[in-house]
Amino acid sequence: MNGKMKLELGIFLVKELQVGPRTELKAGVLYVNLRELQLLLCQDKRFADVKLELAHPGERCRIIHVLDVVEPRFKSTGKERPWYCGQGLTHVLRGIDVVVTGAFPGFAEGVIDMTGPGAEHSPFSRLHNLVIVPQPASGVNPVDYWEALTEAGIRAASYLGQASEGLVPEEVESYHLPPLSAVASSGIGLPRVAYICYLYSMADLRDMSLFGQNTRSLLPTIVHPNQILDGAIIYGGPNRPHKNTTYANTNNAVIRELYKRHSHSLYFVGVIVANHSDSYEAKERTAGLSAQLAASVLGAESAIITKDGGGQSDTDLMLCCEHCEEAGVKTVIVTTEGLGRDGTGIAALTDFSNEADAIVSTGIREESVCLSAMDRVIGGTSLLGRAAGDANKEIELQLSHIVGALSFLGYNNLGAGEIA
């Protein structure tokens, strides 16, 4: 069979994360030599210092200034170059993650509470977190510092993942989607479904990266879903707490669901990655080209569309929906809602289309949660934009400030509707 795009995710279920003299994975416990990892990360001279802390589920602990969350992985077989990603055996250490923190002035706060009401909303509250708390070297500019932070997160996640080298995973998830040449002869009678995945890149410190490159001038591009599951998309924008973390991208819920039903109730024909551009002209071009790729190259009869931004991204959703429906590709849109604190706002989205008749809502962004006081805070002492020294206190925050509470990809059960 042509095409070697077969990916196996070898899952290691890690139940505990502890400090140890050697970094090793034994009997479901990951021991970490924090000093060794700290020295590794400090090799990057854009840092003056890097502190590492652990936060466990159930602790009265709050992690603040969260920028990204990364799942520890290790490439067991297959080559480690961007163009080979999506093939081979990749180890996944499930149950733990690396949290990258950092305070950039003017950015919105992102927190993870390890217990209390806040913990009910974030999936990361149920994982053991290794938290990176960096200090910038004097004089380093924000763009370089952000690059250093992104690399540190990935480097730490790889370092942890490497503890699984040579070990046998407990479970193996297999992902194999043959090339389009095989589609004609298989899955006959099954509806062909494509996935249009928008990413948001608009400027320095507000970029996503695809295969290591920001997507600012990306024309819609076909990728194999395995490439996304194997790390092709890295989070690159410190702001927007209701973002898709790198963790959420490597576990893209829409891709996983389409794979689950592939060859049973549908035929998954591929993924189109598109960018939320900063001009209407570019948005229309992206929408039109995505629709053509879906209809005429992938041969899809339908597509799921997900977004990656705030209000301006609603225009992309509507344009993409219209162009797809016009090209004969029926669509479902997945989106969060901007209905305000009490859900009485005039509109959930900032744009509309008569064609957008099938929408899955993954929750209202502005609903607030009252977070309880914590004994310990990792990452700083004051929440961004608020009075000094109050990061440990009881506080009311919008869901958009709880990292992972809202998902553009639909990985949790949150929704919204008219209820009593």
Partner 1 sequence: MEGKIKIVHYLNQFFGQLGGEEAAGLSPQIKEGPIGPGKALKKLLDNEGEIVATVICGDNYFAEKPEQVAEEIIDLLSSYELDVAVAGPSFNAGRYSLACGAFCKAIQERLNIPAVAAMFEGAPGAEIYRGQIYIVRTSAFARDMDEALASLTRLALKLARQEKIGLPSEEGYLPRPFRRNLVREKTGAERAVDMLLAKIGGKPFQTELTIHKFSGVRPAGPIPDLSVAEIALITTGGLTPKGNPDRIESTCATKYGIYDISAIDDLTSDAFEAYHGGYSPVYVNKDPDRLLPLDVMRELEREGTIGHVVGYFFSTAGCASDPGTCHHFGREISRALLEAKVSGAIITCT
Name residues contacting partner 1, limited to 376-395 (CB under 8 A): 385-386
The whole-angstrom separation of Cα 325 and Cα 239 is 33
Alpha helices in 129-279 (DSSP H): 142-161, 225-229, 246-250, 253-261
- The answer to whether residue 419 forms part of the interface with partner 1 (CB under 8 A) is yes
Looking at 33, 350, 372, 382, which residue binds partner 1 (CB under 8 A)?
Answer: 350
- Report the residue number, 27 or 346, with the smaller CB distance to partner 1: 346
Q: Which of 253, 272, 371, 378 binds partner 1 (CB under 8 A)?
A: 253
Instruction: Provide the β-strand partners of residue 175.
Output: 7
Strand partners, 75: 90
- Strand order across the 29-32 sheet: 16-19, 29-32, 24-26
What distances in angstroms separate CA 283 from CA 109, 216, 275, 321, 353, one per listed residue?
Answer: 29, 12, 8, 12, 15
Task: Return the number of the residue (227 or 400) whose C-beta is nearest partner 1.
Answer: 400
**With binding defined as CB under 8 A, does residue 357 bind partner 1?**
yes
Binder of partner 1 out of 153, 337, 377, 402 (CB under 8 A): 337
Per CB under 8 A, 155 contacts partner 1: no
Q: Between residues 316 and 337, which has the closer beta carbon with respect to partner 1? A: 337
Cβ proximity to partner 1: between 160 and 395 the closer is: 395
User: Which of these segments, 29-37, 155-163, 201-209, 281-289, binds partner 1 (CB under 8 A)?
Assistant: 201-209
**Quick one: 2 or 413, whose CB is closer to partner 1?**
413
| # residues near partner 1 by CB under 8 A | 84
DSSP 402: B
Exposure of 242 in the CB half-sphere (CA atoms within 13 A): 26
Site for partner 1 in 312-331 (CB under 8 A): 312, 330-331
**Interface stretch with partner 1, choices 67-75, 111-119, 151-159, 406-414 (CB under 8 A):** 406-414
Query: Tokens representing 338?
Result: 């901007």
Asked if residue 125 lies in contact with residue 57, where contact means CB atoms within 8 angstroms, the answer is yes
CA-CA distance, 179 to 173, in Å (whole number)?
Answer: 19
Name the minimum Å distance from CB 255 to partner 1: 9
What residues pair up with 222 in beta bridges, in sequence order?
272
Span from 8-16, 59-67, 282-290, 310-318 in contact with partner 1 (CB under 8 A)? 310-318
Beta-sheet strand order (sheet of 128-136)? 47-55, 128-136, 96-101, 66-70
Options 220, 241, 379, 404; binder of partner 1; rule CB under 8 A: 241
Residue 257 binds partner 1 (CB under 8 A) = yes
DSSP 258-306: HHHHBTTTBEEEEEEEEE--SSHHHHHHHHHHHHHIIIIIS--SEEEEE
Is residue 132 near partner 1 by the rule CB under 8 A? no
The answer to whether 290 and 215 are in contact (CB under 8 A) is no
Among 66, 70, 100, 364, binds partner 1 (CB under 8 A): 364
CA 159 – CA 164 distance, rounded (Å)? 10
Rounded Cα–Cα distance for residues 222 and 219 (Å): 10
Provide, rounded to whole angstroms, the least separation between the CB of residue 330 and partner 1: 5
159 part of the interface to partner 1, by CB under 8 A: no
By CB under 8 A, name the one of 81, 263, 352, 370 that touches partner 1. Answer: 352
182 binds partner 1 (CB under 8 A): no
Taking the complex as a whole, how short is the minimal distance between the CB of residue 223 and partner 1, in angstroms? Answer: 18
